[in-house]
Amino acid sequence: MKITLNGKEHSLDQTITITDLLASLGLVDKPAVVELNKQALFPREYSEVTLSENDSVEIIAISAGG
């Protein structure tokens, strides 16, 4: 299955949730904003929403700095 992740094609071996995707990217324990098909998701939805063929996902990891 193919999705678009942050503007680039990304292949997945199986249907996964947003939580699974964040885990595969090393972002599961980091604050992040996730947009699926141009709609922002609440963090409580990450484990419930599964990705489908041709979905578009934008992930913005939030980090503090100075």
pLDDT single digits (tens) 14-43: 999 999 999 999 998 889 999 999 999 999
Which CATH architecture fits 2-61?
Roll (3.10)
pTM: 0.89
- The domain limits of the chain are 2-61
Return d(Cα 5, Cα 59) in angstroms, integer. 8
Q: Is 21 exposed, middle or buried (0-12, 13-18, 19+ CB in 10 A)?
A: buried
pLDDT single digits (tens) 39-61: 999 999 999 999 999 999 999 98
Q: Is residue 55 within 8 Å of 11, Cβ to Cβ?
A: no
